[in-house]
Amino acid sequence: MIRAILFHIIPLLLPFIVYGVYLYFNSRSGGDKKWGKTSLAVATISGLLLMAVSLIVLGLVSGEPREGTVYVPPRFEDGRIIDSQIVPAEKKE
């Protein structure tokens, strides 16, 4: 669950948080900027791009190693369904 939060929600919300902090400090120093349609659009697009990058990175660095393993699909044996598995490949000598 924590992985889902880290790789989905945080990259999406990060541009909004950064821009919100910028607006907070800008208003404290006398600035008059506010949330506008353009800034919301830019924050949304950059958040979606960050989320896409995080999903690509997650797909590249996680998972089972492909070398030396074999996928065994689900099967029906003795009246029961056996789940799919990834098992080590048998070595041929």
Q: What is the pLDDT of residues 46-86, one digit of tens each?
A: 999 998 998 888 888 877 666 778 888 999 999 999 999 88
CB 86 within 8 A of CB 63: no
pLDDT of residue 76: 93
Say whether pTM exceeds 0.85.
no
The two structure tokens encoding residue 64: 């089972």
Domain ranges of the chain: 2-64
- The bridge status of strand 69-72 relative to strand 85-88 is antiparallel
Q: Say how far apart CA 72 and CA 86 lie, in whole Å.
A: 6
